[in-house]
Amino acid sequence: MNTKGRLKLLILTGCLSLFITLQTAYGEDAWRTDFDAACAQSDDAMAFSIPELKKLIEQCDRVQNSIEAQEDTVRKVFLRRLQMCRNLYVFVLETKMHEQKPK
């Protein structure tokens, strides 16, 4: 391989590693952003409507898959945090649905 070819290969390898690094970094940030978006509103759970609560529960389920792919300690911490806020949404949802049922 000549010098030009080596240079091309070097640039290509550099670009590839940069892409992988950025993707990993973005990926890490993405699940955390999704987690915050889903769980930051748990204290307002009672104020949400049934469709809003269902949407939040779906958000929690989506982020759960991403957390499960993380390393051991992150999984332990964030699955518990996620479970707490998801359980709260589910409970408020069930309560609101129960209230809506004709008596």
Partner 1 sequence: MIKMFFVVPILLAAAGIAWAQGGMKKKKPLPCEFGSVTINNYSRQAGMPPVVFDHWVHRQYYTCRLCHVDLGFGMTVGSTKVRAVDNMKGYFCGTCHNGKMVHGGKRIFESCTKEYTREEYNRCVKCHTLERSAVKENEFYRFSKKMPNERLGNGINWEIAEEKGLIKPVDYLEGVSSKKTNLKVTSDFAIKTKVEGMPDIIFSHKKHTVWNGCGLCHPEIFIGVKKGTTKYSMVELFEGKYCGVCHDKVAFPQTDCQRCHTKQTQE
State the Cα–Cα distance between residues 99 and 49, nearest whole angstrom: 12
| Distance in angstroms (rounded) separating the CA atoms of residues 83 and 35 | 11
Q: Which of 5-13, 18-26, 55-63, 82-90 is the region at the interface with partner 1 (rule: CB under 8 A)?
A: 82-90
Amino acid sitting at position 61: D
List 6, 8, 62, 76, residue binding partner 1 (CB under 8 A) = 76
Among 4, 73, 102, 103, binds partner 1 (CB under 8 A): 73
Rounded-to-10 torsion of CA 14, 20, 23, 26? -80
Minimum CB distance to partner 1, residue 65 (Å): 19
Q: Are 39 and 81 in contact, with CB atoms under 8 Å apart?
A: yes
Pattern 20-59, partner 1, x by CB under 8 A: ---------------xx--xxxxxxxxx------------
Compute the Cα dihedral for 86, 83, 33, 65 and give only its sign. Answer: negative
Kindly state the smallest distance separating residue 31's Cβ from partner 1, in Å: 13
| Residues in contact with partner 1 by the rule CB under 8 A | 35-36, 39-47, 73-74, 76-78, 80-81, 84-85, 87-88, 90-92, 95
